[in-house]
Amino acid sequence: MAGIPDSPLVGMSPWIVFSLLVGPGRFEWAVGAALLISLALVVGHQMSHRGASVKILEVSDAVFFAVMAVIGLVASPGTHRWLETYAGEVSNIALTLIAFGSMAVGTPFTLQYARERVDPAYWKKPSFLRTNHLITGAWGAAFLVAALAGAYGDLVLHDPGNVWTGWIIQILAIVAALRFTAWYPDVVRARARGDRRVPSLSDLFAPLAGLLVPVGIAVMVFEGHLWWLGAALIVVGGWLARHLKRQGDGGEATPEPGRAAH
């Protein structure tokens, strides 16, 4: 139980469940499931970490979905249809506000999770605080991109099921934030230890380049008239992922102390 609530990804699970379940006639079910998960996370964290601070992200989850549940109970059929159509944008905008809002008050939401994994001696170090601001900012940017992509598909293209705006762009944004969350702390630790090999940008982008292959397959399946684009993405993604991986295996050498100033 102690290890389950220790990741901000778990704090995002209610939003993931909500986005998967919501749809015509399923708004109440989606909100109810997300609210139950949100409450379970808050209670579970307090049970496993007695005396620990309440997580900004988890409390925000519970408040947001409680408000949505109340709205769902009193809303008119027209409001229900609006919520079912734009639920993705609403949730992504809410997550964007949570991310940037937590940074604005000086407590990026990843900071609370990081403190449970790091010795208290490092909590006030500038590098530790800067790392969490950057990671939270990356998530905020990903949520904003997802919201804008969804809004473009709904409001401009009038096609909520568009494979690009409804799926590919949003998924790539979230995966990019996931990758940055895993990559950047390794960079900071390697530099702090003075390692000769520091994770490079190639290490960051190689897995993302590999995602072009499944994107290409999705384009060929769902956008048959763009089969040539899907084929190109598969070829370019495979080549680029291998190329970046070879570069990453070489690493990024830490400058020698005598040459650092140059």
Instruction: Please give the pLDDT value at position 7.
Output: 63
What region, left, alpha or beta, does residue 25 occupy, with left being phi > 0 and alpha being psi -120 to 50 degrees?
left
- The whole-number pLDDT of residue 86 equals 86
pLDDT by residue (tens digit) across 213-231? 988 898 888 888 888 888 9
Q: Number of H helices and number of E strands within the chain? A: 12, 2
* 1 pLDDT higher than 50: no
Q: pTM higher than 0.85, yes or no?
A: no
Strand-pairing partners, residue 253, are: 197
Handedness of CA 89, 90, 96, 100 (dihedral sign): positive
| Closest residue by Cα to residue 9 from 162, 229, 133, 175 | 175
Encode pLDDT of 232-256 as tens digits.
989 998 998 888 888 866 554 444 4
In a 13 Å sphere around the CA of 2, the CA atoms on its Cβ side amount to 5
SS3 call for 194: coil
Of 121, 110, 241, 128, nearest in space to 191 by CA: 128
Work out the mean pLDDT of the chain and round it to a whole number. Answer: 83
10 Å CB burial of residue 149 (0-12, 13-18, 19+) is buried
